[in-house]
A and B are shown apart, each in its own frame.
Chain A
Amino acid sequence: MTIESSIMRQTPYWLNFLFVGQMYSASHKYSIAATSSAYMESIVPSNKLIHLISRDLTVDAGGPLDVELYEAPTITDGTTPPTIYNLDRRSSKTPSWQLFVNPTGVSGGTKLLVAQISTGGGPKSTGGLSSGVAEFILKPSTKYVLKITNTGTQTSTVVLTYTWYESGN
């Protein structure tokens, strides 16, 4: 018996993970006081690869904001997850990647990303930041923290959204 396989149409790699219910989105709205920081902690499991394809922030009021991503920081795990949903609404699967919006004792780690969201700094200022075109594959059994710091004088409302898919290999 011989077997032949061919591709009928161009299907992006990530789309098949959506079709097996392994693509997710998480979002959270923070209120960050002047000169304060907020965090999104994530814990990568040992048995899944996390492909982070989108990380978007929008800002209303206050700022500017510094955005930093750290790998393997010292951290006390949070307890509150963001709002998470499976992008395939037919699926009942839940993500292996753990996210928390309220870690404490955050310090150290390898800084991977530095960005700034520029705003006018006033009560009506706005701004945003979107991830680049490349996906981010996170290291298994590793913690990450995204730190958002309001360097301005007014409170900022920040919405953070992650979109990712999970593969076994």
Chain B
Amino acid sequence: MSIGFPQHRNYDAVANDFIVGPLVVNSVTPVEVKVGSDIYYGRKQIRILNDSSSVVYINKSPSFSIGLETNFVVYSGELLVFDVNSNPADQVETRLYALMEEGSNTIKITEVK
């Protein structure tokens, strides 16, 4: 039984550092996907691991709602990885936000440099 991350990693970059932590997602206000008080400076990857018994929705808007058809859906047992440094010309920090439909639950976030 696989309990961790994908076995085959197709990334060339070496992870210089990473930070892991819980993210409490609620159903009232989208919360920013990050571990610390602010996003991990210079991060190249955002790894969203939904090991909870809830479905989580992800969007780039801090005010998105569940009803939109344009959200990422992270199902229970799914790992969603955003490589946010694949375009060197993109100098804008990518920020993501998470929301649930009912209640609240905790998922795991890893930010990788």
Contact = CB atoms under 8 A, between A and B. Distances in A.
A5 B81 contact: yes
Contact of A4 (B54, B55, B83): B83
Interface in A1-51: 1-11, 15-16, 19-21
Contacts of A9: 1-3, 77
Tell me what chain A mostly uses at the interface: helix, strand, loop, or mixed: loop
Interface string B66-90: 0000001001111111111011001
A11 B3 CA distance: 12
Contact of B90 (A1, A11, A90): A1
Contacts of A6: 5-6, 78-79, 81
Contacts of A90: 102-103
A93 B1 CA distance: 33
Contact of A1 (B6, B54, B83, B103): B83
Given A1-B86, A2-B86, A3-B83, A8 B101 contact: no
A8 B4 contact: yes
Interface residues of A, number: 20
A1 B82 contact: yes
A20 B103 contact: no
B109 interface: no
Interface in B1-26: 1-6
Interface in B49-76: 49, 51, 53-55, 72, 75-76
A16 B79 CA distance: 15
A35 to B, nearest CB: 47
Given A2-B82, A3-B72, A11-B78, 5 more contacts: A4-B80, A8-B78, A10-B1, A15-B76, A21-B101
